[in-house]
C-alpha cells in the first residue's frame, strides 16, 4: 500500500480544511516546498498536491508552487485543482507532474475527460471522486450532485481508467478513521482499478485496517500536520 502525504494550497500556503469547508481553514506552513522536501527526506516518494484556489476558481492558480516542487524534489506528484483545459494538462505533464486528478470535469464534461484518457493516456490521470454517502460532490466539494459514485467509476473504467482516488467527505479531516466499507466495496467491484483511499486516517491502526481492504494507496494529510502520525512511522509502514 502506497503512503501518499498531502499538501493542500491556498494563497501559496500549506493548509488543511475540515470536511472540505473553506471556512474551516487552518494554515499549517507558509512554504509548501519545505514540507514536500521533508516528505522526501523521510524517504516517502509520492505527493498528493491540491490547488484549492484552483478547485474553487475552475483553473490552475498556484503554478509557482507546482513548478518549485517539481524542480526541487524527486517526488512522484499527483496534482489536482481546477484543471479544465488541454493547455493545462500539457503544461502539467511538461513540468513532470506524474498524474493529474480530474474531478468536477469528469462529471460535468464527460466527453472531454474521455478524450483526455485517449489522447494523453489513462496512466496520466486519476479520477478523483469526492463523495457524501455515495453521491459525488464537485467544485471543491461546494456542490453536491445526483451522480452515484459506482456509476461514474463504471463509466470511465469502460474507457480505460486505471486510477481512482475516492475521498469520503464525511470523514475528511476528522481523524476518526476511514470509511472502510466504502473502500472494500470499490476494490471488490472494480478489482482492476488502483483505488486510493482518502479521508479520516488518524493512526497507524487505521492504516493497518485499510491495508486489509487491498487499496492501492492512502492519502494522509491532517494526521501528519497535527502530529498524530510521524513521518518515521510512515516510512517504516511503507516498507513493511
Catalytic residue list: 8, 130
Q: Would you state the pLDDT for residue 124?
A: 98
Instruction: Write out the DSSP string of 27-87.
Output: EEES-HHHHHHHHHHTT--EEEEEEHHHHHHTS---HHHHHHHHHH---EEEEES---SHH
Range name among 33-47, 76-90, 136-150 with the lowest pLDDT average: 136-150
Label residue 240 by pLDDT band (50, 70, 90): low
Domain limits of the chain?
A: 2-238
SS3 breakdown of the chain: % helix, strand, coil, rounded to 5?
40, 30, 30
* pTM, 2 dp: 0.94
- Mean pLDDT (the chain) is 93
Question: CATH assignment of 2-238?
Answer: 3.20.20.70
* Per-residue pLDDT at 141 exceeds 90: no
Q: In the beta sheet, which residues pair with residue 51?
A: 9
Residue 176: how many other CB atoms lie within 10 Å: 12
Write out pLDDT tens, residues 157-198.
999 999 999 999 888 777 889 999 999 999 999 999 999 999
Amino acid at each position: 500500500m502506497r503512503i501518499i502525504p498531502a499538501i493542500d494550497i491556498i494563497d501559496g500556503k500549506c493548509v488543511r480544511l475540515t470536511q472540505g469547508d473553506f471556512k474551516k481553514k487552518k494554515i499549517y506552513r507558509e512554504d509548501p516546498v519545505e514540507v514536500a522536501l521533508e516528505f522526501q527526506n523521510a524517504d516517502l516518494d509520492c505527493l498528493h498536491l491540491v490547488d484549492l484556489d484552483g478547485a474553487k476558481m475552475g483553473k490552475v492558480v498556484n503554478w509557482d508552487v507546482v513548478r518549485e516542487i517539481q524542480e526541487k524534489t524527486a517526488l512522484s506528484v499527483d496534482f489536482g485543482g481546477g484543471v479544465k483545459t488541454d493547455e493545462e494538462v500539457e503544461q502539467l505533464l511538461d513540468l513532470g507532474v506524474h498524474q493529474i486528478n480530474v474531478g468536477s470535469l469528469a462529471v460535468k464534461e464527460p466527453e472531454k475527460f474521455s478524450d483526455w484518457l485517449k489522447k494523453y493516456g489513462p496512466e496520466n490521470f486519476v479520477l478523483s471522486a469526492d463523495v457524501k454517502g455515495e453521491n459525488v460532490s464537485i467544485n471543491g466539494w461546494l456542490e453536491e450532485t445526483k451522480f452515484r459514485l459506482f456509476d461514474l467509476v463504471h463509466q470511465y473504467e469502460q474507457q480505460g481508467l486505471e486510477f481512482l482516488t475516492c475521498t469520503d467527505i464525511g470523514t475528511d479531516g476528522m481523524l476518526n478513521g476511514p470509511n472502510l466499507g466504502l473502500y472494500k466495496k470499490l476494490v471488490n467491484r472494480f478489482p482492476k482499478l488502483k483505488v486510493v483511499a482518502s479521508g479520516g486516517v488518524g493512526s497507524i491502526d487505521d492504516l493497518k485496517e485499510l491495508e486489509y481492504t487491498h487499496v492501492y494507496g492512502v492519502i494522509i494529510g491532517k494526521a501528519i500536520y497535527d502530529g498524530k502520525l510521524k513521518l518515521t512511522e510512515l516510512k517504516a509502514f511503507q516498507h513493511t
